[in-house]
Amino acid sequence: MPIINHASSASVVIDDDKCIAEKGCTVCVDVCPLDILAIDETRKKAFMKYDECWYCMPCEVDCPTNAVKVNIPYLLR
Amino acid sequence: MSSAFPNTEIVDADILVIGGGTGGPMAAIRAKEANPGLKVVLMEKANVKRSGAISMGMDGLNNAIVPGHATPEQYVKEITVANDGIVHQKAVMAYAEGSYDMIQFLNSLGVKFEKDGSGEYNMRKVHHMGTYVLPMPEGHNVKKVLYRQLRRLQVAITNRYMATRLLKGPDGAIAGAIGVNTRTSAFLLVRAKAVILACGAAGRLGLPTSGYMFGTYENAANCGDGYAMAYHAGAELANLECYQINPLIKDYNGPSCAYVTGPFGGYTANNQGNRFIECDYWSGQMMLEFWRELQGGNGPVFLKMDHLAEETISEIETILHTNERPSRGRFHEKRGNDYRQRPVEMHISEIGFCSGHSASGVWVDENARTTIPGLYAVGDMASVPHNYMLGAFVNGGIAGKDAADYCAQHDLPLFDEGQVVTEQARVLAPTLREDGYTPAEMEFKTRRMVNDYLEPPKITAKMEIAQRRFAEIRDDLPGLCARDPHELLRALEMQTILDCADMAAAASLYRTESRWGFYHLRADYPETNNDDWFCHTMLYKDELGRMSHRKREIDPYIVPIADEEMNAYHQLRIQEPIAAE
């Protein structure tokens, strides 16, 4: 069967102005237990790639520039 | 080392630890301390820095046995009673006797526990009988402390590898494991004399009522990999029907934390504001009263704190919103929940396997040994009941030390190359399809069926339907499609979850009685039947690959329990409702 993609709102939000992924930082991507964050290779910024967040918050707490905000996913907010 | 297998690196080790959360790192630390010459590899699906149930830290020890407050004998008695007698007391005692030394060890490493003015540990009573709770208001540094030790002791860490199957030698002893990289799908085969499983709970089994698949009580990465690997290797799993079910904040995956709030004066109340249980310690009997209150029209159930003083509430907020579940404050903010204004609505969690809170785990003895030579299990996935974080540390330490001794007496075993070929084909199968079913929809369907048919009260006819639905989903596996390494990770986890769902149904059907309060409440067999079922139930894969069961006798108690004491946890309901304070 062909596969279609769902859309959903990203609960983990990255402030592009603060994110320093272009300098090689991958801290938020490294610490995520569910591996749901990634670096956008064209924009060189981190982003939430998969809607599989446990809202545990190491990405936010460990970010050296406070660029990450973890919101509670809408379904359970 | 490259190898005869495509895209596969082979590493030789003495000890392979699978899982870098809580028990795994401590197993590696103790193994290296026992023999610094050993090569210890720690394979972790995520990143050891922030993996496992205590990703962000922990707000307290739930089962600390501190001299002057409790003895190991008292603790063994409490857990035996709380678990309706179905315990291997020697394993509980091994934990209890190691508890205080482990607290001191963690303290020496820099983990901070609450102390009183004279520097003594500040113990709180939460259990029904004894005093075992030690708060950790600054418990957010636990993972950092562990990581520092792993580096200092030169444990070889491989992050982002999901172990998928254990390897066995010609004599049936453990020989290592195979894992797959979650970002590249490259294989890592670790040959080892001993393997320590520390993969956490099967926490992604039931579906949270919000419908959000990753809003589970357990870290959603802990989806039962260890249970599935142990099962497929032929190890025995014990008392799986004694599910983990927890009282949580409604819609949020955190406990309402009566453990934290209870000693400050908070309590669980019904919609009249009245207490209905005498003790907030998590047990099947407590959950049964919780469920009855919801069923009886007195729900919802709430955590009541609005009668407390401002400074007390502030202190509770500081503990609850900064350690184990720091997003809790954010959830309350959106809902307009203020502990000062109104009680917080609670609900019953999804089901799972987790010995850390109940008793469902891979069978281990007092040395953390499973039924396979050289294979150990520790933490939430091992069968020592009510073990919590401190139990994971203590039993991890026991396993690490015992595995170091085991290595001294064994050579590196050969492994079955045919098994590796078969496993690599199974792992990669979903990547060979252009289209089909996604891991997310197959997982969602499996877990929705778990909710529909396996939640207590357990009904034979419903559980048999569940088995048919799971078999149909298994028939659909040749359609499972993974378009990149991340989806392959989820596809493999989905198969683990399906294995655990089958085990939950089979184990629940096998024990034809009710026991452990709500955890194994069977509508068709409402009574506890000690004549036939005062035993462990062991689930295993037989020689023909069938899911099989047997009873295992309970070893004679080393701490005797009087008959009248045995009923203590059956009297948790407050007889006459007391007016709210």
Which of B571, B392, B502 has the alpha carbon at shortest distance from B30? B392
Beta bridge partners of A64: none
What are the distances in angstroms from CA B510 to CA B235, B241, B474, B537, B554?
A: 18, 9, 21, 8, 17
Per CB-CB distance under 8 Å, the chain B contacts of A30 are: 47, 49
Per CB-CB distance under 8 Å, the chain A contacts of B182 are: 35
**Residue B533 domain-assigned (yes or no):** yes
Q: Is B575 in a helix, a strand, or coil?
A: coil
* Structure tokens given for B248: 């949580």
Distance from CA of B325 to the nearest CA of A (A): 7
Res B333: pLDDT:
87
Mutation for B interface: A52, A62, A70, most B CBs within 10 A: A52
**Residue B563 domain-assigned (yes or no):** no
Res B566: pLDDT:
87
CB B49 to CB A31 under 8 A?
Answer: yes
Res B156: pLDDT:
98
B215 touches chain A (CB under 8 A): yes
Which of B58, B62, B78, B66 has the alpha carbon at shortest distance from B102? B66
B437 touches chain A (CB under 8 A): yes
Per CB-CB distance under 8 Å, the chain A contacts of B46 are: 32-35
B219 touches chain A (CB under 8 A): yes
A29 touches chain B (CB under 8 A): no
pLDDT at B312 > cutoff 50: yes
DSSP element (H, E) containing B62:
none
CB pairs under 8 A between A and B: 96
Confidence of residue B581 (pLDDT cuts 50, 70, 90): very low
Count helices and strands in chain A by DSSP H and E runs: 2, 4
pLDDT tens track for A2-23: 999 889 999 999 999 999 999 9
Res B571: pLDDT:
79
Helix (H), strand (E), coil (C) string for B543-554 = CCCCEEEEEECC
Distance from CA of B21 to the nearest CA of A (A): 10
**For residue B171, how far is the Cα from the chain centroid?**
30
pLDDT at B124 > cutoff 90: no
pLDDT at B256 > cutoff 80: no
Confidence of residue B423 (pLDDT cuts 50, 70, 90): very high
Cα B331 to Cα B329: distance, rounded to the nearest angstrom: 5
A8 touches chain B (CB under 8 A): no
Strands B40-43 and B156-158: parallel
pLDDT at B579 > cutoff 60: no
Res B272: pLDDT:
93
Cα A7 to Cα B384: distance, rounded to the nearest angstrom: 43
Quote the Cα angle for B572-B576-B580, to 5°.
95
Return the higher-pLDDT residue of B135 and B477: B477
Confidence of residue B52 (pLDDT cuts 50, 70, 90): very high
Percentage of chain B modeled with pLDDT above 90: 80
Interface pTM (ipTM) of the complex? 0.98
Strand ranges inside A1-77, DSSP E: 12-14, 37-40, 45-48, 68-70
**Residue A46 domain-assigned (yes or no):** yes
Confidence of residue B425 (pLDDT cuts 50, 70, 90): very high
Q: For residue B211, give the chain A residue with the closest CA.
A: A75
Containing structural domain, residue A30: 12-71
What are the distances in angstroms from CA B406 to CA A72, B91, B176?
A: 46, 19, 14
pLDDT tens track for B291-306: 999 999 999 999 998 8
Query: Which candidate from A3, A33, A55 shows the least CB-CB separation from B327?
Result: A55
Confidence of residue B522 (pLDDT cuts 50, 70, 90): very high
CB A72 to CB B182 under 8 A?
Answer: no
pLDDT at B521 > cutoff 70: yes
Res A62: pLDDT:
95
Work out how many domains chain B is built from and give that number: 2
Amino acid at the residue B394? V
Mean pLDDT along residues B26-34:
98
Res B2: pLDDT:
52
**Residue B438 domain-assigned (yes or no):** yes
Q: How many residues are recorded in chain B?
A: 581
Res A39: pLDDT:
98
CATH number at residue A39: 3.30.70.20
Beta bridge partners of B19: none
CATH number at residue B454: 1.20.58.100
Last residue of a domain, one of B330, B348, B366: B348
Q: For residue A62, give the chain B residue with the closest CA.
A: B50
Amino acid at the residue B557? Y
B512 touches chain A (CB under 8 A): no
pLDDT tens track for B374-386: 999 999 999 999 9
CB B212 to CB A73 under 8 A?
Answer: yes
Confidence of residue B202 (pLDDT cuts 50, 70, 90): very high
Per CB-CB distance under 8 Å, the chain A contacts of B436 are: 1, 3
Res B570: pLDDT:
82
Determine which of B142-146, B333-337, B412-416, B483-487 has the lowest per-residue pLDDT on average: B333-337
Cα B198 to Cα B22: distance, rounded to the nearest angstrom: 8
* Structure tokens given for B526: 């409402």
Beta bridge partners of B187: B8, B180
**Residue A45 domain-assigned (yes or no):** yes
pLDDT at B577 > cutoff 70: no
Query: Which candidate from A30, A53, A56 shows the least CB-CB separation from B55?
Result: A56
Q: Which positions ≥6 away from A24 have C-beta within 8 Å?
A: none
**Residue A40 domain-assigned (yes or no):** yes
CB A3 to CB B436 under 8 A?
Answer: yes
Mean pLDDT of chain B: 94
CATH number at residue B289: 3.90.700.10
A58 touches chain B (CB under 8 A): yes
**Residue A76 domain-assigned (yes or no):** no
Containing structural domain, residue B503: 426-541
Res B129: pLDDT:
82
Q: Which positions ≥6 away from B434 have C-beta within 8 Å?
A: B481
B570 touches chain A (CB under 8 A): no
Res B404: pLDDT:
98
Res B339: pLDDT:
86
**Residue A3 domain-assigned (yes or no):** no
Res B343: pLDDT:
87
Distance from CA of A21 to the nearest CA of B (A): 18
Which of A32, A50, A53 has the alpha carbon at shortest distance from B486? A50
Q: What is the pTM of this model?
A: 0.96
Q: Give the DSSP letter string of B179-209.
A: EEETTT--EEEEE-SEEEE----B-SSS--T
B213 touches chain A (CB under 8 A): yes
Which of B381, B359, B323, B328 has the alpha carbon at shortest distance from B519? B359
Around B216, how many Cα atoms within 13 Å sit in the side-chain half-sphere?
28
Largest Cα span, chain A: 44
CB B211 to CB A75 under 8 A?
Answer: yes
CB B210 to CB A75 under 8 A?
Answer: yes
pLDDT at B100 > cutoff 70: yes
Last residue of a domain, one of B348, B369, B384: B348
**Residue A37 domain-assigned (yes or no):** yes
Any idea what DSSP says for residue B36? T
**Residue A5 domain-assigned (yes or no):** no
Work out how many domains chain A is built from and give that number: 1
pLDDT tens track for A24-43: 999 999 999 999 999 999 99
**Contact of B350 with B216, CB cutoff 8 Å:** yes
Res B523: pLDDT:
97
**Residue A7 domain-assigned (yes or no):** no
Query: Which candidate from B213, B326, B486 shows the least CB-CB separation from A57?
Result: B326
Cα B310 to Cα B340: distance, rounded to the nearest angstrom: 8
DSSP element (H, E) containing B94:
helix B89-109
Q: For residue B487, give the chain A residue with the closest CA.
A: A50
Q: For residue B52, give the chain A residue with the closest CA.
A: A33
Query: Which candidate from B252, B437, B486 shows the least CB-CB separation from A76?
Result: B252
- φ and ψ of B50, to 5 deg: -140, 40
Q: Which residue has the tokens 């004998």?
A: B73
CB B330 to CB A71 under 8 A?
Answer: yes
pLDDT tens track for B543-554: 999 999 999 999
Distance from CA of B409 to the nearest CA of A (A): 36
Cα B566 to Cα B572: distance, rounded to the nearest angstrom: 13
Burial of B560 (0-12, 13-18, 19+ CB in 10 A): exposed
**Residue B141 domain-assigned (yes or no):** no
Cα B21 to Cα B411: distance, rounded to the nearest angstrom: 28
B334 touches chain A (CB under 8 A): yes
